[in-house]
């Protein structure tokens, strides 16, 4: 497949994603894992329709797509369908992500220190911290998917959506911190400590957000898109040049723009519908970039991926206990709550993708495998558990069973027997004879 054919395919996929906007939230799977599977199928490690050098050529486009997705997340951070999320829900969402991320990172780091997996030194720190970043998220996509398909409505589902809208902060900040502590290959060599690079990323994103807000004053129609895309491209280019995390810089840019612009509501209305148009091609390219060979060839790395998933489950169970203790609305959820929080979405995949591009080799490939495995685990476990939990909590009305519908229906009278049919026939015949004989007489 040529690069032009791949580009045309991505444009078609982007167009299909834009058509799905507004047609409901139940299209496809909640995590979008089917697009990752499609990308892996056509990638260099399966059918080979898309070769590895071609994927490398598309990395600048991927960086822009990832930056746009993070910008949309930042612009809509702390809000659900225009509604501001409460402070308690934001705190709970961030706390749950931090708890899970720390549990996963500590478990991975202990294993890397005890067992020789071929990764040591600074690479071990990056691998363990990256595992915490890709395993921290609880995606609200699964809750919205269940709400759209089965009509879930109530305090528990609303709380889960609010928590999912706030916990994106932790993995994106972790990605910015990991890029700050890692050396910058091919970037400008400046004598800055890790906290200096992290502060530079925050300052760059905040400055771009404020500049964009100033450019948008009085702008209309195409001028709005020109200002948004122009400043975003500038931010992605500067971040890539200095070796900073593009998704963290654009995430901060979105938050700063939402805080500084008086027309933030209008911006959300025109920007948020573009998320799917960018998300689906990104997931496809992430699947094509997925390389499971280092994990399959090294059993210790495979054991590390399994440990990351187990640590994520434990972290979410602990997070579920914290939410039930802190929020009265979550108490009807019962023991299902921690399992429900296992849902993973585009932010985890985006973090794994940027790690795979920045740290090529066993570290980056393992982190992308962890992100995809978390999405699969959440799709298999979280969605069904969420439906069962919301049904038990009374927020999903269970469909009536066939037996109950039969009991409620009226039972028709039994058909007449053969003798009764004969008697009725004789009576009818007798009436006919009498009627015929009456005028003659």
Domain count, the chain: 1
Most confidently modeled range among 6-10, 318-322, 380-384? 318-322
Count of C-beta atoms within a 10 Å radius of residue 180: 23
Q: Is residue 134 a part of any domain in this protein?
A: yes
Q: Is the pLDDT of residue 72 over 70?
A: yes
Mean pLDDT within 253-262: 94
Residue 425 has pLDDT above 70, yes or no: no
What pLDDT score does 21 carry?
45
Give dist(CA 430, CA 25) in Å, integer: 69
Question: How sure is the predictor about 10, in pLDDT bands with cuts at 50, 70 and 90?
Answer: low
Tens of pLDDT along 22-46? Answer: 444 556 677 778 888 888 988 888 8
pLDDT digits (tens, 9 = 90+) for 366-424: 999 999 999 999 888 887 788 888 888 788 876 555 454 445 444 455 555 444 444 44
Q: Given this model, what pLDDT does residue 418 score?
A: 46
CA distance 96 to 341: 9
Q: What is the mean pLDDT of residues 313-321?
A: 94
For residue 213, the domain's CATH number is 1.20.1530
pLDDT at 308 over 90: yes
Containing structural domain, residue 226 = 3-397
Q: Quick check: is 404 in a domain?
A: no
Q: pLDDT tens across 147-206, in order?
A: 777 777 888 888 888 888 888 999 999 999 999 988 666 555 577 888 999 999 999 999
Quick one: pLDDT at residue 438? Answer: 39
Q: Which of 185-194, 202-211, 338-347, 430-439 has the highest mean pLDDT?
A: 202-211
**How much is the pLDDT for 278?**
86
The answer to whether residue 337 is domain-embedded is yes
Residue 413, domain member (yes or no): no
The mean of the pLDDT values for the chain is 82
More confident site: 152 or 68: 68
The mean pLDDT value for 78-107 works out to 91
pTM score: 0.84
**pLDDT at residue 106 is higher than 50:** yes
Query: Are the C-beta atoms of 385 and 343 separated by less than 8 Å?
Result: no
> Percentage of the chain with pLDDT > 70?
81
Distance separating alpha carbons of residues 309 and 436, to the nearest angstrom: 91
């Amino acid at each position: 497949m040529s690069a032009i054919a791949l580009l045309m395919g991505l444009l078609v996929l982007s167009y299909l994603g834009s058509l799905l906007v507004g047609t409901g939230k139940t299209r496809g799977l909640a995590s979008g894992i089917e697009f990752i599977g499609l990308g892996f199928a056509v990638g260099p490690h399966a059918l080979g329709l898309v070769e590895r050098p071609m994927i490398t050529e598309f990395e600048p486009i991927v960086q822009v797509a990832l930056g746009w997705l993070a910008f949309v997340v930042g612009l809509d951070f702390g809000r659900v369908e225009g509604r501001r999320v409460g402070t308690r829900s934001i705190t709970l969402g961030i706390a749950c992500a931090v708890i899970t991320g720390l549990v996963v990172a500590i478990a991975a780091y202990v294993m890397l220190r005890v067992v020789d997996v071929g990764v040591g030194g600074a690479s071990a720190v990056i691998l363990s911290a990256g595992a915490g970043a890709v395993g921290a998220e609880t995606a609200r996509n699964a809750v919205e998917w269940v709400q759209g398909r089965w009509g879930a409505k109530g305090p528990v589902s609303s709380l889960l959506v609010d928590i999912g809208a706030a916990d994106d902060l932790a993995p994106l900040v972790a990605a910015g911190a990991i890029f700050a502590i890692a050396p910058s290959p091919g970037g400008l060599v400046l004598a800055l400590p890790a906290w200096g690079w992290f502060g530079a990323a925050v300052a760059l994103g905040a400055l771009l957000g404020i500049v964009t807000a100033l450019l948008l004053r009085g702008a209309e129609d195409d001028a709005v898109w020109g200002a948004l895309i122009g400043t975003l491209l500038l931010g992605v280019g500067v971040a890539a040049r200095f070796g900073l995390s593009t998704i963290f810089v654009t995430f901060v840019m979105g938050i700063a723009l939402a805080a500084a612009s008086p027309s933030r509501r209008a911006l959300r209305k025109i920007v948020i519908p573009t998320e799917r148009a960018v998300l689906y091609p990104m997931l496809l390219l992430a699947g094509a970039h997925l390389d499971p060979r280092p994990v399959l060839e090294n059993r210790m790395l495979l054991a590390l991926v399994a440990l990351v998933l187990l640590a994520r489950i434990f972290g979410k169970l602990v997070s579920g206990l914290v939410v039930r203790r802190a929020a009265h609305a979550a108490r009807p959820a019962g023991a299902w709550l921690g399992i429900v929080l296992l849902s993973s979405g585009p932010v985890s995949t985006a973090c794994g993708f940027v790690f795979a591009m920045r740290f090529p080799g066993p570290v980056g490939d393992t982190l992308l495998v962890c992100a995809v495995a978390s999405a699969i685990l959440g799709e298999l476990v979280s969605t069904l558990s969420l439906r069962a939990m919301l049904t038990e909590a009374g927020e999903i009305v269970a469909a009536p069973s066939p037996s109950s519908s039969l009991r409620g229906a009226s039972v028709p009278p039994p058909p007449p027997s053969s003798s009764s049919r004969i008697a009725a026939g004789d009576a009818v015949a007798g009436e006919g004879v009498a009627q015929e004989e009456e005028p003659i007489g």
